[in-house]
Structure 1
C-alpha cells in the first residue's frame, strides 16, 4: 500500500507507555463453545486450551460484537489483524512507523466516509483511534490486549494494541500492510454502523434474543463491517494507493479470521451456532462485494441469506 508521505489523522490518542490496569472486578469472561465473551468489556475468539489461546487466538479475532456488551448501551465490536513492527517500550506519544501507518490509514478512512456521508446528506463524526499496550479503559469497560482491536460505540473510539499485528502475522499467516489496514477499516466500519443506527438497533434487538439468534445477528453485523471495509478499499484503489498483492492480503486476512477456520485450527471442529463473525468464505465474499461496488446499498447483510 502506498501510504508514505500522505496525510495522517490527528484523531489519535496514543496511550502506550501508560498503565491501563484493571480496577474492581474487571471484565467477566467465560468460554462457551470456544468463544470468549466479555461482560462490560470486549471479547475475542478463544480455544479450550486457555493458556495457549489467550496468548494466540484471543489476539486473533478479538472484538466485540463477538463480545456483546451487558446493559445494551453499546456493543464493542471486532475484528482482524496482521503483521506490523513491535511498538513495545515507546513513551506516550512517541511516533514510530507502525503508528504513522495506522494514522495514515485512519486519515484515508476519514476521507472516504466524509465523502460518502456528504453525498448522502449526512454528517460523519470522525472516530478517535486509541493506541494502547497491555490493557485499556474505555466507555465500554476495561479490556486487555487479548481482546484484539475493538470499537466502543459508547465513546465512538477504536482501540488497538499494535503488537497484535505481529502475533497474527507470525501465528496466523495474515501478514501485510493492507491486511493491517483491513483491520482498521473493519473497526471504522463498526463506527459507520453506529452513526447510521445499525449498532444501537442491534444492541436493543439482541436483548430479546436467545444466544443462538443473537450470534446469527452478530454475524450479519460483522459481515456488514467487512463490506464497509471493502468500500474503503474500493476508494483507496481508485486513489491509486494499492500495490500488487494488496487485495490478496486483505482477502487472506478475512479467510484466516473466519469463525470456522479459527475454530477448526484451535479445537479441531466447528460449532456453527457459536459463530459471531461469519465463516471465512462469508468474510471474503462481503469484503470483496464492498471492494468491487463501493456502494452502501450493496452492503445490506440483514435481508436475505449471507
Structure 2
C-alpha cells in the first residue's frame, strides 16, 4: 500500500523533494497536481529545476542546485499541505455547522499553502471529498466563504484576547499580557488574516464589524485611563489610539516576517509601558484644585 501523502513539510524538505525527482512525480507523492506544486514553490520562493535538469548526467546535477533563499514576507517555514480526508460514512453525518467548519478548515489550508487567490468552492469541496453543489449549500458564493473565514479568524483572536486580559490582576499586567498575546497571534494567524483583509470586498464587508469590535475593546480601557489618570475622554482616546497603532504596526511587521518576534515584543512593550508611565506622571502633576477629568496645561504652554 503506498504511503499517505504528508500533511505538512518545511520549505527545506519541500525543496529537497523537488530536486530529487521530476515535478510530476513529487506532486503525485504529495497528492497535488504538478501545476499546483509549481505554483506553491513559486509562492514560497523555493527554486525548482528546469526540465532540462533531468537530462543531465547525475554527477553534474549537484552543482546546479541553488541555495534555499529566505521565505517571502507573507510565508512561513512550515507548509500545511492538506487536511485529513474523512470517509463517506463520516461525511454524511456532518450537520450544517460541522460541514461549514470543515470547508473553512480546507480553505485555511489552501490559503496558507497557495494563497487566497486559489480558493474556490470547487477546490474546497474537492479537498473534503464532497460535490461543489454541497459546498454551495453552506456558502452561496466564494466571497461568502472568504468572509466567513476572516470572521472566524477575528473571533478566535478576540476570544483569546479577552481570556488573556482576564488573567491580569492590575492594569499594567493586563496591558503587558494583551500586547504579548497580540504579537503572538499576529505571528501565528496574521499572514492568513492579512491576506484575507487585503481583498477589498472582504475589507468593505467587515468594516463595520471590525470597528464595533475595536469600540468594545477600547471602552473599558478608556474608562480605566480616565479614572486612573484623570484624563479627559479626548486625551484617553488619543493616547490609546497612538499606543494601539504602534502595537498593530509591530504585529503587521511580524506577520509579514519583516521583524523578529523578540525584537517586536521588546520594542512594543517598551513603548507601551513608557506611555503608561507618562500617563501616570501626568496624573501626578494634576493639582488638587483641578476639577475632575481636567489636567493642568503642560509646562511648555504659553511659551
Pair in the same fold by TM > 0.5: no
Say which structure is richer in strand: 1
Say which structure is richer in helix: 2
TM-score, L = length of structure 2 = 0.30
Higher Cα Rg: structure 1 or 2? 2
Task: Work out which structure has the larger RCO, using CA pairs closer than 8 Å and 6 or more positions apart in sequence.
Answer: 1
